[in-house]
Amino acid sequence: MREKYHFIAIGGIGMSGLAKYLMENGCEVSGSDISDSKYINKLREMGARIYIGHDANNVPDDCIVVASTAIKENNPEIQRAKSLGLPIYHRSDVLAKLSEMGKFFIGYSGTHGKTTTSGLSAYVMEKAGLKPSFVVGGIIPEIGTNAHSQDGEFFCAELDESDGTIVKYSPDVVVINNLEADHLDFYKNGLESIIETFDNFIDGLKSSAKILINNDCETLKMLSGGNFITFGLNNADYTAKNINYGEDFTDFDVYYRNEYLANIKISLKGEHNVYNTLAVLASLHQSGIDIELLIPHFVNFTGMGRRFEKVCEFNGISVYDDYAHHPTEIKAALSAVKSFKNRNTIAVFQPHRYTRLSSLWKDFLESFGDVNKVVVTDVYAASESPIDGVNSAKFADELSSKLDSEYISGDMKTVAKKLLPMLKSGDIVIGLGAGTITNLGKELLNLSGDMVDVRK
């Protein structure tokens, strides 16, 4: 790989991770984004040259340009790169090249859970002293980063399926957590297109690759090819039994092909995190790692950034932030509120993309059963154009027939101003979405008098 890279939209969680990894390997990195962020600040501290705003003059005349699917052909930096005849890589091309640098490659994929499973995998390997290299889609607690290059044997990564680029990767061990209809702006034939993409991904793997699938996900049984290794709560190669859901911890026994393997204790909430933990343990066991080195560290993993993350507390009110933007993810995230005994819970939902809200409208309406109230904010468009008849006001109105809900318009500061008077001591607020909803806790804090921020 050439030693000079320019990232367009360098501030994203995935792009910033790749940039950091390259810099740790001695590469020179520059990049641009439309706004500043904590990820950009870390890259600056490492020596990256950062530009706020996209401009043709930002692009060096002797570099590889890296862009994501969100960057359009009319972007001035893309146009400049083409005029200079520079190579233009998709971010998946860079990750694929990093995965081919001689390490044992473990990949985590699927519609839901890939950030948590890849982050948990990197975390327990790191705490076990295995010095893994990794690029994942969130900040790993305690480790404090989304990417790191080290001299250990293993390379761990989150494999994104949203734009079909998962077919570029060839891991030695891969987990497919689940598959559902999502990213329907790209997968025009819905689930059929997603299954076809994963079939092509599996067909491209080495014959020695080990493929782990969630045996309780019916869609995964539709995949063709591959000698699958299964995990699940019922009939599977790796099974979780004797699950005990406590208020502070969950513990369960793991059996491998009907033989007791280990007892695992985790601090993560919800059944979905039993699946996530089981997937990680199974994948690392199949990678040849002594699981006795790993077991003590699962309980100390507090969850990835923006995965039911407690971001602040003030006046007896606790605010959580979750990246959930698909109905299944929302149900999983909100299942965790059951551990809060006798507390009023308010979900603040920012729909992400008009196409997703439109195609999964009915499923979203059934996603909020575990909370007392839902506040719906404006759709976060993510560069999409509005769709007639698809809007947050209409969604909140339909949702009100099922539970207490209302629509609040405006930016997140405005939402916080209107939300704060509704809250009382003891309330739990959960922000849900992949857009600016992540700023809700900060805006509520700014408006409150007693500021106690618990985010690290």
pTM: 0.82
Please tell me whether residues 78 and 153 are part of one structural domain.
no
Residue 172 confidence class, pLDDT cut points 50, 70, 90? very high
Give me the percent of the chain exceeding a pLDDT of 70.
Answer: 97
CB 31 within 8 A of CB 51: yes
320 CB contacts (<8 Å, ≥6 apart)? 308, 309, 310, 311, 428, 429, 430, 431
What tokens were used for 415? 């939402």
Three-state SS for 234? coil
CB atoms within 10 A of CB 259: 6
- Is 307 a residue whose pLDDT tops 80? no
Calpha distance 143→148 (Å, rounded):
10
Please tell me whether residues 107 and 249 are part of one structural domain.
yes
Please tell me whether residues 109 and 86 are part of one structural domain.
no
**Consecutive H or E run containing 238:** strand 238-245
Taking the mean position of all CA atoms in its chain, how far away is CA 136? 8
Q: How buried is residue 449: exposed, middle or buried, by Cβ count under 10 Å (0-12/13-18/19+)?
A: exposed
Calpha distance 356→382 (Å, rounded):
11
What CATH code is carried by the domain that includes residue 28? 3.40.50.720
What CATH code is carried by the domain that includes residue 403? 3.90.190.20
User: Considering its fold, how many domains does the chain have in total?
Assistant: 3
* Separation of first and last alpha carbons in the chain: 35
In a domain, 30, yes or no: yes
* Residues 216-250 pLDDT 10s: 999 999 998 768 999 999 899 999 999 998 778 89
The predicted pLDDT at position 405 comes to: 97
Taking the mean position of all CA atoms in its chain, how far away is CA 413? 25
Please tell me whether residues 83 and 119 are part of one structural domain.
no
- Is 268 a residue whose pLDDT tops 70? yes
The predicted pLDDT at position 20 comes to: 97
Calpha distance 281→285 (Å, rounded):
6
Mean pLDDT of the chain: 93
> Going along 48-103, which residue ranges are E strands?
49-52, 64-67, 88-90
Calpha distance 153→135 (Å, rounded):
15
- Is 191 a residue whose pLDDT tops 90? no
Lowest mean pLDDT among 183-192, 271-280, 293-302: 183-192
In a domain, 454, yes or no: no
Q: Which residue has the higher pLDDT, 383 or 7?
A: 7
In a domain, 317, yes or no: yes
Domain boundary among 90, 114, 135: 90
Please tell me whether residues 17 and 40 are part of one structural domain.
yes
Domain boundary among 277, 300, 323: 300
Please tell me whether residues 201 and 121 are part of one structural domain.
yes
CB atoms within 10 A of CB 373: 17
Please tell me whether residues 258 and 167 are part of one structural domain.
yes
Nearest 5°: CA angle at 125, between 23 and 38?
A: 40
In a domain, 407, yes or no: yes
Calpha distance 174→155 (Å, rounded):
12
Please tell me whether residues 116 and 183 are part of one structural domain.
yes
CB 351 within 8 A of CB 379: yes
Give the dihedral sign, CA 221/182/186/13. negative
- Is 93 a residue whose pLDDT tops 80? yes
Domain boundary among 283, 300, 317: 300
Please tell me whether residues 128 and 276 are part of one structural domain.
yes
Give the dihedral sign, CA 136/139/145/150. negative
In a domain, 452, yes or no: no
Lowest mean pLDDT among 27-31, 104-108, 154-158, 342-346: 342-346
Strands 49-52 and 345-349: unpaired
Residue 61's domain spans which residues? 4-90
The predicted pLDDT at position 453 comes to: 54
Please report the DSSP string for 279-336 in residue order.
Answer: HHHHHHHHTT--GGGTGGGGGG----TTSSEEEEEETTEEEEEE---SHHHHHHHHHG
Partners of 148 in the β-ladder: 134
Strands 238-245 and 228-232: parallel
Residue 98 confidence class, pLDDT cut points 50, 70, 90? very high
Residue appearing with tokens 């809007």: 391
- Residue 252: which of 266, 232, 234, 236 has the closest Cα? 266
* Residues 375-391 pLDDT 10s: 999 999 987 899 999 99
In a domain, 110, yes or no: yes
In a domain, 363, yes or no: yes
- Is 445 a residue whose pLDDT tops 70? yes
Please tell me whether residues 358 and 251 are part of one structural domain.
no
Please report the DSSP string for 123-178 in residue order.
Answer: HHHHHTT---EEE-SSPPTTT--SEE--SSSEEEEE---TTSGGGG---SEEEE--
CB atoms within 10 A of CB 33: 21
Give me the percent of the chain exceeding a pLDDT of 90.
Answer: 79
What CATH code is carried by the domain that includes residue 252? 3.40.1190.10
* Residues 111-163 pLDDT 10s: 989 999 999 999 999 999 999 999 999 889 889 999 999 999 999 999 999 88
The predicted pLDDT at position 451 comes to: 47
- Is 450 a residue whose pLDDT tops 60? no
When pLDDT is averaged across residues 434-441 and rounded to a whole number, the result is 92
Calpha distance 132→103 (Å, rounded):
9
Residue 437 confidence class, pLDDT cut points 50, 70, 90? very high
Calpha distance 89→80 (Å, rounded):
14
Please tell me whether residues 109 and 82 are part of one structural domain.
no
Strands 345-349 and 373-376: parallel
Q: Which residue has the higher pLDDT, 213 or 72?
A: 213
Lowest mean pLDDT among 92-96, 178-182, 195-199, 228-232: 178-182
Please tell me whether residues 65 and 198 are part of one structural domain.
no
The predicted pLDDT at position 173 comes to: 98
When pLDDT is averaged across residues 289-313 and rounded to a whole number, the result is 91
The predicted pLDDT at position 456 comes to: 42
* Residues 198-216 pLDDT 10s: 999 999 999 999 999 999 9
Q: Please list the alpha-helical segments (H only) found in 336-381.
A: 354-359, 361-365
In a domain, 133, yes or no: yes
